[in-house]
Structure formats: C-alpha cells, structure tokens
A = this chain, B = another copy of it.
C-alpha cells in the first residue's frame, strides 16, 4: 500500500497524521515549522521540504491548514502541490475555509486529472487525538467513496454532504448556529440568574423545554452547572473564542456571497470579535461569553 501525503502538522494535523501511522499507513509529510515536522519524523513519518515533494511522492494527500490563503499557497505556489501532482491523485482538504476557495482548488486539481474533496472536521483536538473526528465531505460520489476508508483511519463518522464545497457549508452552518446558541444560552442564564433563579434549576427547566440545545444541556457556559467541561474549569481548554471568531467570519463571507441574510450569525461574529481581542477572554473557551455579559 502506497504512502499518504500530509501537509499541515498543527494541533489537529499532527494527531491525524499520527493516527495514519498507528493504523499502518506510511506518511510523507511537510510542515513550515521544522519542530513540528521533527516530532512526526520521530513517530515514523518521512519528512520532505515542500508541499510539491509530498505531491511527488504520494497519490493520496491530506491537507490540514489554518485558512483559505494558506491553502491557496500550499496548492498554487511554485513549490506547491499543483506543481508536481500526478494524474489520478486524490486530494483531501480537511481545513475549514471559504467554500469558494474549496471550489477554486477543486477546479485546479481537476485540470491535473485528479480528484479533490473538502472534508472539514468537528471534534476538536481531543477527537483528532482519539481518532473520533467527524468528517463532513463535499465531492463527487466516487471521490467520496475513495476518500472514506482513509478518513475512517482518522475519524469515527464520515458524512457525504454533496458536491465539492458542501463539506465547508455543513461545517460553517453548524458552527454559526453553535455560536448563536452559546451566546443565547449565556444571555438567558445571566438574565434568569439576575431575576432570582438558581442556575442549575434554570438549566434543568430549559433542558426539558423548547430552549433545549447542546450549549445548554451539554456545554452550559455557567460554571458548575455541568462538571468537567471547560466552563467549570475557568474556561481553560475547549473551543477558543478565536476559533469561534474564525468560523463565524467564514459564515459572514458565505452570507455575503450567497446573499443569505444572517442577522444573528452576524451579531454573534461581532461579539466574538470583541471577545477575541479582550485580554481576559481571548485565550479562553468560547463559553466565556457568559462572563463577558455578566461582567461586574
């Protein structure tokens, strides 16, 4: 069985690549940070100097990168994937980026007689490490079928969302809704507490009523309503305000491009923009919006 190529060995990518190694695949990898690369080398990967070297060495490539601009560079620059990609390759981009960027790259890959799927993930660093990620995949059916076994080495659930770009759409829409709900729960809990309700009682009422949601029943942002989650551990760990801001920003770009109004999604984005610049909140779990509203 041939090697798998991997570009982007950050918090998420390093665990994903390591799971490929653990489950018997050889990996040829690249990262801009030599230290990150060296760590994966110690675990058995072959490290190369450029994305182009990865594409030259393998025909299944996974990319896990921070934003649209970096994905474009990794594919399009002179030392990039497209410079050396061989016909019949399969590119899996697990980055969370603009749908329009996914569609653009897919089209450039197709010109090289190769396939591309967007496959952003949910599940966080914990899921990446445990190999329990969910992949939301956009691409033609045969390409999805081809990608699925590889993705199952890194995750537990692999969902086919439709054509190229729909993986991004599913990720962005879910996370926009999540951001709205987390702020909404923070508002409702803060208001209710100030009106005299006990936090746990209010949460239990909401959780059996029409206000029920993941942000209330599984990840309630009020400390000690649910034990063991970041809001009960001073908002350390979890899903940071900066990452939430990024995903809400992608939703805003999508809203503008699709001419689909998202008034609450847009306000959620602006509120997380404010939080992610605030010294007390910027390095915290996104549930910290409760403290931002309560602040006194």
Which A residues form the contact surface with B (CB < 8 A)?
A: 99, 122, 134, 136, 159, 161-163, 165-166, 168-170, 172-178, 180-181, 183-185, 187-192, 194-198, 201-202, 205-206, 209-216, 219, 249, 251-256, 258-271, 273-274, 276-278, 292-293, 295-296
Contacts and interface: CB of A to CB of B under 8 A. Distances in A.
B197 A161 contact: yes
Contact of A265 (B188, B206, B210): B188
Given A187-B265, A267-B263, A195 B122 contact: no
Contacts of A276: 259
Contacts of A214: 209-213
Nearest to A174: B211
- Top 10 A-B residue pairs of the complex, sorted by shortest distance between their CB atoms: A213-B213, A177-B211, A169-B195, A180-B184, A173-B192, A263-B270, A194-B258, A174-B211, A261-B273, A177-B188
Interface of A is mostly: helix
B184 A170 contact: no
Number of copies: 4
Contacts of A262: 187-188, 191, 270, 293
B264 A180 contact: yes
8 contacts: A180-B180, A181-B184, A191-B254, A210-B215, A211-B214, A213-B213, A261-B273, A267-B267
Contact of A191 (B198, B212, B258): B258
Interface centre among A99, A175, A261 (most CB of B within 10 A): A261
A241 to B, nearest CB: 12
A167 B262 CA distance: 29
Contact of A293 (B192, B252, B260): B260
A169 B184 contact: no
A238 to B, nearest CB: 11
A163 B196 CA distance: 8
Given A170-B205, A180-B180, 19 more contacts: A162-B201, A166-B197, A169-B191, A176-B187, A180-B184, A183-B264, A184-B184, A187-B264, A188-B265, A191-B254, A191-B260, A256-B269, A259-B277, A260-B293, A261-B277, A262-B270, A263-B274, A267-B267, A274-B292
A246 to B, nearest CB: 9
Nearest to A163: B196
Nearest to A271: B263
A270 B269 CA distance: 13
A188 B174 contact: yes
A264 B266 contact: no
Nearest to A176: B188
A133 B220 CA distance: 26
Contacts of A122: 209-210
